[in-house]
Structure 1
Amino acid sequence: MFKPIETISQRLNPQLRKVAVNTSWLFADRILRMGVGLIVGVWVARYLGTQQFGLLNYATAFVALLTPFATLGLDNIVVREIVRNSSHKNEILGTTFFLKFLGGFVLVGLALISISLLRSGEQLTYWVVSVLSAGVIFQAFDTIDLQFQAQVQSKYTVIAKNLAFITIAFVKIILIQINASLIAFAWVVLAESVLGAIGLAINYRVQGYSLLAWRWSLTRAIALLKESWALMLSGLTIMIYMRIDQLMLGEMIDDRAVGLYSAATRISEVWYFIPMAISTSVFPTIIEAKAISESLYYQRIKQLLRLMVFLSTAIAIPMTFLSKTLVVGLFGQEYIAASSILAIHIWASLFVFMGVATSPWFITEGLTKLSLQRTLIGAIANVLLNFLLIPTCSGNGAAIATVISYAIAAFVANYFNKNTKKIFFIQIDSLLIKYWSKTK
C-alpha cells in the first residue's frame, strides 16, 4: 500500500518525505474504513431490516448534528498553536481536552432533551441516542491526535483508531450471529470510541509523553474559544448540510424511510474519497503553476475539473441503470425501494467532485471564507427543498433535494459572487462533453 508513495518520497527533502508518508497513512485509513465499513454495514443493514436500520441511522445523524457543540471547532486552531508554541504544548492540550470533555457532556444533555421532545414516549430511540451520544465524551481523547497532526505523525492515530474499528467490525458480525438486539449495536459504537481513546492514550505514552503533564488554563481556554466559535458554527452548518435529510425523513415520514435512504447513500457516497485523493495529490502542482504563470495555473485547474466531471459521470451513469441490481444484490429484496433513491442521489457526486476540484483554487486565491457562505447557502436550500419534497416523494424527494442543494453550493452560487464568477465559467466549460477530449 505504502511502497509507491515511499518510493516517490525518497526523491523529496526530509520534510516533504514526512508529509508524503503521513498522507499515505491517511489514505490507507480512508480506504480501509470505506471498504470494511461498506461490507459490515451492508451485513448489519440486512440483519436489522429497514425499520431498525433506519432508527440506528436516525440516531447516528441526530448525534452527529450536535457534535460541533462537543468539538467546539478547536482542532485546526490547536494544531496551529502547538506548532507555533511547542513550549506551551501541555497547557494547550490540557485545556483543549477539558473543553472537549465538558463539551461532550453538554452534547449528551442537549441530545437527551431534544430527543425527549421530538420522540416522546419512544424508549428505544431514547436509549439508542443516549448510548451513541455518550461515545462523544470519549472523543475528548482525540486531543492526542492533534499533537500527532502537528508533528505530521498521523500513523499513530490511524493505528489506534483502526485497531478499534476492526475489533468492533468483528464484534458486529458476532452480534449478527447471536441475533443481538438493536441496542447492542449502539453499545458497540460506544465501545469503539472507548477503545480508540485507550489506543490513543497508549500510543501517546509509548512515544514518551504523559497525559498527567497536561494542564488547564482558563486564560488559554478563553483565547481558544474566542477563535473557535466561528468554526464551531461552520461545523454545525456543515452537519446540517450533510445530515438534515435523514433527520427530516425520520420526522416527516418514518424510520423505515431513513433505512432505505441510508442504504442508498452508503453506496452513493463510497466514491467520495476519489476526488479528495486526486485533489490532494495535484494541489502542489497547482500552487507551482500559479508561481510560473496564470495561463498554466488555469490550464491545470481546467484539467482537474474536466477529470472530475468525467470520473463522476463515469460512475453516475452505470450506477443509475444498475441501481436496482446493486441494491437488491447487496441489501436484499426488502431494500428494493432504495434503488430509485440511489439512481437520483448518485448524481450528487458530480457536484461533490466539482466542489472538491475547486477547493485548490479557493485556497490559492485566498477565498476560503467564501466556502462557509456556500455551505450555508447549500444547507438552507437543502432544508427548504426537503420540506417541499419529502412529504410527497419521501426518500426520492430527499435525494432530489441533496442533488439540487449540492449543485447550488458547489456550482450555481459561484455565479453570484464577482470573486468566483471566473471559476463558475470554468466549471461550465468542464461540463461541456465536446471539450473533454481537448486540453487548452
Structure 2
Amino acid sequence: MSLKGKVIKNTAWLLSEKIINIFGLIFITSFVAKYIGPDNFGKLSLATYMFSIIQTVSIWGTDTICTKKISRNYNLGLSLLFHASRFRNLVFLITTSPLIIYLYFNSDATTLYFAIAVAISTLITIQDVYVIINDATYNSKLNVISNVIGLVISLVLRFSIVELNLPIIFICIPIITLNLIPFLIRFYIFRKENILSLISADKITKKFNSFVFYSGLPLVISSISVAIYFNSSRLMLAAVENTKMLGIYSVAITLGSSWSFISYALVTSVTPKLFSSKNLDQAGLISSFVSQVIIIISILYFLFFVLFGKIFIHKLYGIDYIYAYEVCFPIIIATCLSSLGVISSRFIIFNNGYSYLGKKNIFTCIFSIFFSYVMISKYSLIGAAY
C-alpha cells in the first residue's frame, strides 16, 4: 500500500475510534453527571484537570520526539522511546507525590479518591508507549480496537454503577479500567509480535537520557504552558467560584470541544508524513490542508449547536446544566484555534523550532492566567470560556 493510502486508512481508523469515544462518553458521562450532580462532577473534573497537567510534564515532549525518530529510523526511535519511558516514571513520581499529600490534608474524601483513581489512570497512560509506536508506523488500527474494548467495558461499568445506585466512589473503577485494558492489550500484542534488541549500553543510555532531557525541555515547557493555558480557566473557576460551577463548565467543555476528534485524527495521521517531508514546501502543503479542513468543520459544528445545542443539553444532562449552552459557543471557537495551533506546532517542530514554541507558550500561559482571573471574577462561567 502507498504512503498516501496508509495515511487515509490510518485516519479512517482514528476517526472511527474517536466517533465511538465521543458518542459513548457523552451519553454515559451525561448519565453519570446527572446522577452525581454538578458539585461532585466538578470534583471529578478538578482531579482530571490537575493530572492532565502532570501527564503533560511526565511525558516531557517524548511523544513528539519519538514519533519523529521512529518515522525516520524505527530501531533507533524504538530504543529512545523505551528509555524515555523510565524518565517519564521518575517525573511522574516527583510531581504526583506532593499533590496527593496536599489533597490528603486539604480536601474531602471524594476529591481525594477521585484524584487517586485519575493518578493511577494517568500513570498507565504515561507507560503506554505502544500508542506512539502504532501511530508512527500507520498502525492505528490496533490502538482503535484496544481503546474501543476498554471504552465499552468502562461504559458498562459506569452504567451499572448508576443503575445499581452504588456510592459515587465506585466511579473510580471505570476511570482506571478505561486506560488499563487498552494498555494491557497493546502490551501483549507488541511483545508477541516483536523481538526487542534495544540499545542499552551505559554510554548510549546516558546519551539517550541527555537527548531526551534537553530536546524535551523546550517541548515540555511549551506543553505545560499550553496545559496551564487550557486549564487555567477551569482551575481558576473552581478557586474563585465553586466546584458546582466547574461541573457545569466541564459539560460545556465536553460539548464545545467534542468535534475536535476529527482534527486529532487528521493531525495524528499526517504527523509522521509531515516529519518525513523532503522539503519545506511539502510540509507546508500538508499543514495548510489540515488547517483548512479544521476551519470548515468548526463552522459546521457551530451552526449545528446553534440549532440543537439547548435541546441536547436539556435531554442528556438535565436542567441543572442548561447554562452550559451559551458557554459552549466561545469554547467551539477556542477549540478551532487550539486545533490549528497543534498542526502549526508540528510544522514548527519540523523546522526544529523547539525554542520558539517554548518562549511563545510561556508568554501565552502568563497572559492567560491573568486574563482568566479578571474574566472569571467579573463574568463567572462565560468569563471562563472567553
Q: Same fold (TM over 0.5)?
A: yes
2:56, 2:223 within 8 Å by CA — same for their partners in 1?
Answer: yes
TM-score normalised by length of structure 2: 0.82
**Residue number in structure 2 paired with 1:129:** 115
Please give the alpha-carbon distance, in whole angstroms, between the structure 2 residues aligned to 1:125 and 1:267: 24
Residues 149-168 of structure 1 mapped to structure 2, 5 A cutoff: 149-168=135-154
**Residue number in structure 2 paired with 1:332:** 318
What is the deviation of 1:153?
A: 2.0
Which amino acid is 1:20 matched to? Answer: I
Residues 346-361 of structure 1 mapped to structure 2, 5 A cutoff: 346-349=332-335, 351-352=337-338, 355=341
- State which of 173, 193, 198 in structure 2 corresponds to 1:207: 193
Change (3 A) 1:192 1:366: closer
- State which of 77, 101, 113 in structure 1 corresponds to 2:89: 101
What is the deviation of 1:201?
A: 1.3
Residues 309-320 of structure 1 mapped to structure 2, 5 A cutoff: 311-317=297-303, 319-320=305-306
183-192 vs 214-223, which moves further: 214-223
Please give the alpha-carbon distance, in whole angstroms, between the structure 2 residues aligned to 1:349 and 1:317: 15
What is the deviation of 1:91?
A: 4.5
Change (3 A) 1:70 1:181: farther
Please give the alpha-carbon distance, in whole angstroms, between the structure 1 residues aligned to 2:300 and 2:220: 36
Structure 1: stretches of 5+ with no match in the other structure: 1-9, 401-440
Residues 385-396 of structure 1 mapped to structure 2, 5 A cutoff: 385-396=371-382
Please give the alpha-carbon distance, in whole angstroms, between the structure 1 residues aligned to 2:352 and 2:216: 20
Residues 161-176 of structure 1 mapped to structure 2, 5 A cutoff: 161-176=147-162
Give CA-to-partner distance per residue, 1:230-282, whole Å, 9 cap, x none.
21222211211222221111111111001100111111111223445677899
What is the deviation of 1:347?
A: 3.7
1:250, 1:257 within 8 Å by CA — same for their partners in 2?
Answer: yes
Residues 134-145 of structure 1 mapped to structure 2, 5 A cutoff: 134-145=120-131
What is the deviation of 1:317?
A: 4.5
**Residue number in structure 2 paired with 1:424:** none
What is the deviation of 1:184?
A: 1.6
Structure 2: stretches of 5+ with no match in the other structure: none
Change (3 A) 1:116 1:83: same
1:73, 1:232 within 8 Å by CA — same for their partners in 2?
Answer: yes
> Structure 1 vs Structure 2: percent identity of aligned residues?
19
**Residue number in structure 2 paired with 1:59:** 47
Please give the alpha-carbon distance, in whole angstroms, between the structure 2 residues aligned to 1:159 and 1:333: 36
**Residue number in structure 2 paired with 1:33:** 21
213-222 vs 97-106, which moves further: 213-222
Change (3 A) 1:198 1:304: closer
What is the deviation of 1:148?
A: 2.8
What is the deviation of 1:223?
A: 2.9
- The DSSP-based 3-state class of the residue aligned with 1:346 is helix
What is the deviation of 1:72?
A: 2.0
- Structure 1 vs Structure 2 CA RMSD: 3.7
What is the deviation of 1:382?
A: 2.4
Residues 283-298 of structure 1 mapped to structure 2, 5 A cutoff: none
Give CA-to-partner distance per residue, 1:153-176, whole Å, 9 cap, x none.
222232223211221111111111
2:232, 2:369 within 8 Å by CA — same for their partners in 1?
Answer: yes
**Residue number in structure 2 paired with 1:430:** none
Please give the alpha-carbon distance, in whole angstroms, between the structure 1 residues aligned to 2:211 and 2:266: 36
2:54, 2:92 within 8 Å by CA — same for their partners in 1?
Answer: no
TM-score normalised by length of structure 1: 0.73
Change (3 A) 1:320 1:122: same
Give CA-to-partner distance per residue, 1:296-351, whole Å, 9 cap, x none.
x7xx95x9877755553443255346543332122111212222322443343453
2:57, 2:220 within 8 Å by CA — same for their partners in 1?
Answer: yes
Please give the alpha-carbon distance, in whole angstroms, between the structure 1 residues aligned to 2:186 and 2:213: 24
Change (3 A) 1:305 1:80: closer
Change (3 A) 1:261 1:171: same
Please give the alpha-carbon distance, in whole angstroms, between the structure 2 residues aligned to 1:252 and 1:270: 26
- The DSSP-based 3-state class of the residue aligned with 1:270 is coil
Q: How many residues align?
A: 379
Please give the alpha-carbon distance, in whole angstroms, between the structure 1 residues aligned to 2:85 and 2:99: 21
- State which of 187, 192, 197 in structure 1 corresponds to 2:178: 192
1:378 aligns with 2:364: yes
1:312, 1:353 within 8 Å by CA — same for their partners in 2?
Answer: no
Change (3 A) 1:107 1:184: farther
Higher relative contact order (CA 8 A, sep 6+): 2
Change (3 A) 1:221 1:373: closer
Larger radius of gyration: 1
**Residue number in structure 1 paired with 2:4:** 16
Change (3 A) 1:132 1:309: closer
- State which of 42, 57, 76 in structure 1 corresponds to 2:64: 76
- The DSSP-based 3-state class of the residue aligned with 2:312 is helix
